[in-house]
Amino acid sequence: MMQKAGVGLLTGTDLPADAKNGTVHDELAALVNAGLSPVEALRAASRNPAEFLGKLDKVGTIEPGKWADVVLLDANPLDDIRNTARISTVILQGQVVSQQARP
């Protein structure tokens, strides 16, 4: 109902990556379970926060001239939003982050 009413939705958590039922992946699944499409849930974790913070010109979408912050997945999150947890590669500011350096 909030989405339909035009309320901006953002994801985010202050919990550690290994928290049970408290990760951003859990939050994305909850948004989809509440009725958002996987694309809408992904926007709540990418484009929407960038727009809210006034940084859409630098981050939030993949476009030329923007920061190269990207997470590559082993499976399509549009098929199952929980596939966001199947992280293959993390690229931060154009540099691949090693698995050892990830939380």
Domain edges within the chain: 24-101
Question: Model-level pTM?
Answer: 0.84
Topology, domain 24-101:
Urease, subunit C; domain 1 (2.30.40)
Q: Could you read off the pLDDT tens digit of each residue along the chain, which spans 103 residues?
A: 777 778 788 998 777 766 777 888 989 999 999 999 999 999 999 999 999 999 999 999 999 999 888 999 999 999 999 999 999 999 988 889 977 766 6
Q: Give, in order, the Cα–Cα distances in Å from 99 to each of 45, 71, 90, 96.
A: 22, 12, 8, 9
Phi, psi of 56 (to 5 degrees): -60, -20
